[in-house]
């Protein structure tokens, strides 16, 4: 008999639509790509059966009332809500949902939150003593409300034992892909990612906002083009002299223009992009450190160590141990 993997997703007024439908689509595609062998069965549970209005306006339909959820669950998934629905309390303090989570979590093989769903898990007492993440805009609030929880606002998702927390919205799909990789292997997860037309399947330790996206667009299009050139040529000569020559500017004038347009120096920007690439390789491959350093343009293992120390306050080995999600 094929394996059945039961996924129960909580829905409530004002829930973020993509937090629910994004992961559900990943599980559905995994089923399709394996000819049904994945066995995912996604059920929506609400306070009552029937329609639930989402924050985006469209309505979802709860298959089950909370009180009807029984038996063993493979995955209990708690989405978030950035804004409360009109007339409703902020969902991070929704006592009924929190009480149901606390009651139901022991039935689940793993408990997963997407976006501000982490606030609900924390209120249910499931995150005490754990390191977690949530949407970057809500991380400070989560840490203040629950000082017993270690909140890391940077990663796309964090796994701590049987509890997974995700940054939210679009990154909920990255988290769901990681769950598929755990259940069915990396190859299946990558196949699903290709069907979703995801350029890169982001691993947990990657930043919620990549280095290029973390800087606003430059007023000068040639600086924006140079930033993309840097990303595409990490193992090349990206010294200030080489970049100034590419821009047909003197080094002094180039340094002034680059800082004015990006808020940082060219050297600092190049190092940040190279470290981001090194993080991805540390998470997704078993390549030795010298190869990673070379591929990212950091040159040597010693330089890789120094760059990670400056950017992340850790070593390559420690980073890999924490964020390596595949074997």
- Give the Cα separation of 212 and 216 in Å (integer): 8
Using an 8 Å Cβ cutoff, are 91 and 52 in contact? Answer: no
Give which of 115, 244, 215, 227 is closest to 172, Cα–Cα: 115
Give which of 150, 146, 121 is closest to 133, Cα–Cα: 150
- Give the Cα separation of 104 and 67 in Å (integer): 10
Q: According to the 3-state scheme, what is the secondary structure of 23-63?
A: HHHHHHHHHHHCCCCCCEEEEEEECCCEEEECCCCCEEEEC
In Å, what is the CA distance from 82 to each residue of 8, 17, 46, 99?
21, 11, 18, 20
Using an 8 Å Cβ cutoff, are 140 and 193 in contact? Answer: no
Residue 115 among the catalytic residues: yes
Active-site residue identified among 115, 160, 248, 296? 115
What stretches of 154-292 adopt beta strand conformation (E)? Answer: 157-160, 163-166
In Å, what is the CA distance from 69 to each residue of 10, 75, 257?
10, 12, 60
In Å, what is the CA distance from 55 to each residue of 47, 139, 208?
17, 20, 22
Which residue numbers are catalytic? 115
């Amino acid at each position: 008999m094929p394996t059945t993997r039961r996924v129960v997703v909580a829905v409530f007024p004002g829930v973020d639509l993509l937090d629910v439908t994004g992961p559900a689509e990943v599980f559905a595609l995994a089923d399709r790509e394996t000819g049904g062998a994945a066995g995912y069965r996604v059920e929506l549970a609400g306070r009552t059966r029937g329609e639930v209005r989402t924050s985006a306006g469209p309505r979802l339909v709860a298959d089950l009332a909370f009180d009807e959820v029984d038996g063993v669950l493979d995955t209990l998934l708690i989405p978030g809500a950035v804004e409360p629905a009109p007339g409703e309390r902020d969902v991070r303090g929704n006592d009924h949902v929190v009480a149901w989570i606390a009651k139901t979590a022991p039935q689940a093989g793993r408990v997963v939150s997407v976006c501000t769903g982490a606030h609900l898990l924390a209120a249910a007492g499931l995150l005490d003593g754990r390191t977690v993440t949530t949407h970057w805009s809500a991380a400070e609030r989560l840490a203040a409300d629950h000082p017993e929880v270690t909140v890391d606002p940077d990663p796309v998702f964090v796994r701590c034992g049987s509890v997974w927390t995700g940054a939210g919205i679009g990154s909920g799909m990255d988290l769901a892909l990681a769950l598929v990789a755990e259940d069915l292997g990396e190859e299946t997860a990558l196949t699903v990612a290709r069907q979703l037309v995801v350029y890169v399947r982001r691993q947990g330790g990657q930043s919620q906002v990549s280095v290029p996206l973390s800087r606003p667009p430059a007023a000068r299009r040639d600086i924006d083009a140079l930033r993309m050139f840097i990303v595409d040529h990490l193992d090349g000569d990206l010294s200030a002299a080489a970049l100034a020559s590419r821009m047909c500017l003197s080094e002094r004038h180039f340094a002034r223009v680059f800082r004015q347009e990006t808020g940082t120096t060219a050297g600092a920007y190049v190092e940040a992009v190279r470290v981001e690439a090194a993080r991805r390789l540390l998470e997704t491959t078993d390549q030795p450190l010298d190869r990673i350093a070379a591929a990212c343009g950091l040159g040597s293992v010693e330089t890789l160590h120094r760059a990670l120390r400056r950017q992340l306050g850790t070593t390559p080995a420690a980073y890999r141990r924490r964020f390596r999600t595949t074997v």
